[in-house]
Structure 1
């Protein structure tokens, strides 16, 4: 189905707007999911009453103050201390003790909170490590980096000041131990605060923080598309030390990334960097070393990394038969580990299975040449077979010294299997050609159906993950909107209280005036009738409110005042007092002195002050 032209045009305008934001302000949102991103931008456009992306871009060009408002709308900063208590409990009871035991007592523990928003997550990490190590030891060994692209949120994080509502998920003893009251806010304790460093960092573009033992990035990946998530995970893999942990949000997963990460706890979204052996880890160069030493180290590192990344299994032995090197493929293929380096080769199963190699190694040393063993068979599992070409090479230095041997296992399973299949087909071709054709066709059909089923399952899994992330995003947006409504409700309550207080004040003033005071609006209808007026004429406020003043019959000949009142209302000038013969509520005659003053305010109106005088 072809998308409507309007949707295509809107999509193009959205991409143009995102490119403009990236080029003008350095915020790259092009990796964000388009559905949630468009929804957040449209929310801001509705606020400023703009309908189209193109018009909104023009608005941004002429109104620089709009950028912070837009970024605050896109970057939903919904967070709290120890959010998702079960996940934090697992981190505190399982991951933190393991990490502390792994890092040396004199080494620094490095933690990175990516997408930290206003800092609650970074300070939560400081709390759980302080609980494990003690505050004094934690201030000496633990360093936490909190990063985000939102400068406004980072400014809030750097202060370490939070309202009581932000601390509602914290147990009372932790709140008392790690926060100090400061007016209406609570300040995170200063000694631990100095170990938390906040800075702006874009996880999609900037170089990652290196040598990290624990990386927390919770409810951030879900805003990015699949391609952007893959790039971010690649940066996280580079940032983590071997055996380091990655802590994600409850709606996030590492899909199809079992090569670099193992699942530590899928329920709480904790993943552990898979060990890749000593040869893969980058060497750390001493800046004080000479250029020759650094170049030699660099060349050795390149050789080690090339060997470690080889698709063939490679083992290196010294001249005494001790294992000096095992690359990653060999560890996976033969069940070896870095702990096997340094052991005698003849103690390992691979020395005699799938083929006896000790005699071959001796032959290679004695003849000082490479020896190749083709199509070595090995059983893998109940029925699966593997074939290798095994190459044993003596390692001869430029001086002619034999210092060891290299053993390479080239997996030829597929090639050998194809050779056997071809041979079998050739043998049976004369008698069973038709049957073979049918069988091959059926196998191809089954394989295609299976592949199609696998692709459908993968697509369904991706769609479910995307839907889950969208639901979580919507939940965060609703929570953000709820907080905004609560803030507005509190402001309205305060304003209502202020208005009630003002109304009571003015009613008290009017009630304290002994003379009768009548306030008329611009339509000359009664809006206020004080107690003095009630005492004079016997009419209550509820009886005269919003009544036409000149239609009332209450002992004061109002028609006599019509000209004076209308002139005062129209000109806005105070009129001279007018004395009129009147009758009070008890039927007694009196002279009413009426002063007419204009009401200063929208809509106009007048204020009448009526004072009673006895007739001469």
Structure 2
């Protein structure tokens, strides 16, 4: 897994983070033209809100005119960088010659050139921008040769910044942008004239570059969907990666494509499958280097590796997990190789380097790195362990052979085991706590007791101090606690397949009834046919024919499968071996004449023939012992003595040297014949030796291939064994998880049962008749009280409601109303009655799940029979009261003291000759209207009586003259009675009654002109007996209540 990505700057960091983007621009050869074209493309009437820092490769003693030249192409101020200069928006800063430039805490820093290092000023600037600005860093790589800017671009991209490259086809020298593009760290490519528009578009549409960026609420559903898409596309699960890590990477891609919403990006990914691969690599982008964190590698070099080699082990196993492009893995191999060469101790070192990114692994396998690694590797090591090439530096074969690169998912794949050192740096910090707690025990089991664990500077073993001992906290070096493993790995022998072929069986012809022909043929074969043997390619005997005793003899040792080469008599073995090999190699018969074979103390000349046996393809299975069988035929020659004149075969030299000379009297015999025989024997011996050498070379090749295959099988079996152990542990873990899930499910079942019981008791306790229906109006559930309305029994569950008969009277739209609610999702409420006279409030509502999905309808019936009875009685009483008031010209009224609201009956409005529909005031306005109808001399008295009733709770009953709105004059009786609650007057209720015609009221007033007007200190005259008082000049008494004065 490529996770060596630096964390972006934190808001809580002590260093201030500038609130605007800073664009670092690097170029080399041809840079002036690219810079000029770039700045000419910016609009003159717009504030860009970003700063620009230019770095160009210049000779150390050159005097640059770049500041003056750039200032002619842009309206922005252009300054030569100075130490401590503050960086501000809409300003251009240019690196001076013979210096290198960095950005820190919002200011520029200048550095002298280091002679011992390769000069990479663009990388150095980009690295400082990435660390200081994070996502507000923008790197632009322009024309130039070499690879400067590539590593810095990695850092900017890893810090969530943006990287833009000049398109190679628009470059005068495309080396630098092409290197960054090939490294896969470039987000956009464009010509210099098009880059300003691109920058303006990114800055204008991306919240991530604003001074006060908007922090949108992440769409969690979209994030999970994106992780699912990644898992389906790549096969790797990122759900255990820290949430912010994923969101930062996704936010980068949103900015690259100028997309604002995560849900929109998900749709974009679904329509653009290649974007998933880009996002995958973006999440796994690796920023690594040789000997990264030199202090930690120094501790490793001086303390750990000497302890690993202290007892001079025969082999070391090291695992670099999450190796990215391999720099740290090669660094480990270099350190160990330096120690081994110093000790002059041969040791089989294997460094397993794994990563999730197949492209990173492919790059690591090549071992080719850019020239910029000279900034991290000392010149001595560069010269010793690398070979300089035109494209950079290639690792030497000595180091490369130590490493085994492999694509590996640390989360799902089994780990390597029996490790002496496990290096996993800057990976755990990007995984959540749960996955860290799973991996650390896994590391513990992978490392040998006493082995070492090497973590990154921001990582630790957390609470697993019982598994690892802290050896150097600053270098993050830990040692595996030495204790007995809980379980031993299964032995390899249990998994080894049976590789030895089955024991050969002698060839036995099938028995069949013997015929005269068979008897004749057998006799001829026995008497005339020469001795022969059927062997396989290895020389193992399959069948013997005839008398082979003079040529073969049983080999010493245990009885079993006999090999013809071991049974061959003296002088026959070497010719026979050569003939079998030649016949097998060329698939043709081989003849050898004059072979001298020692039998019974004398040598006999024979002719030897080895012939491949041919036959139907299905006669002998390809894998059977008889496959490729050879027929070996022995023929004794006519002259069986050496003096017969037949040239001797191989082995004749030994025979001639040891056998005494015989004078046969033949002119051809004698020294000349001996020389000829020796010459022939020497020639045959040379041929035999040549054939033996070829056979030996072929055998060595076969053995070498077999050895490599066995090593591969051994590694595969070990890996399979480790996977089986891991699978066993995973199965145990799954079993535990299933047990936990089972317990949780049982708890959920119990909880659901309790909730069901609570619901049943709730429905039964409320007494509300309830009916649950699905979308097809089929009955799902009902309460017992519903049976008073609908004829239901328990077996009716699942039946359509339209099939059942209800007890509702005059209501036939039950099913239609339910369907209307399901269609419109608008609840319906109405009163319905049953045939027995009971009334119910029926409500029909959609059945909604927690996810707001409609799955049916709920129908409830609330018994309102008693409320209906009371309503009917009340309506009857109101009607009777209205009739009485109309018959007696009696109107009622009411005043709510707290609410300051008045109410009149219809008869009260009629006595006032007012239309209720035309009168809007319901509060103080009605009282004022009523007071206005009184005679002017009586208004104050009636007002005072009303106030005293409101304030002190004193009722009053009086008569007065009354002029209606139409000018009619009435003699009316006005009564008021307070409604007192807890000692306070809450309401005042009263009536107004017409006492007779106008003439009677006028006569009454004329007869008593003085009775209604006394002394001037009052307005109401009290009477001792019941009945109304007349309004006059009597005192009404003081009152704290107030009413508005009449004008």
Above 0.5 in TM-score?
no
TM-score w.r.t. length of structure 1: 0.44
TM-score, with length taken from structure 2 = 0.26
Max Rg structure: 2
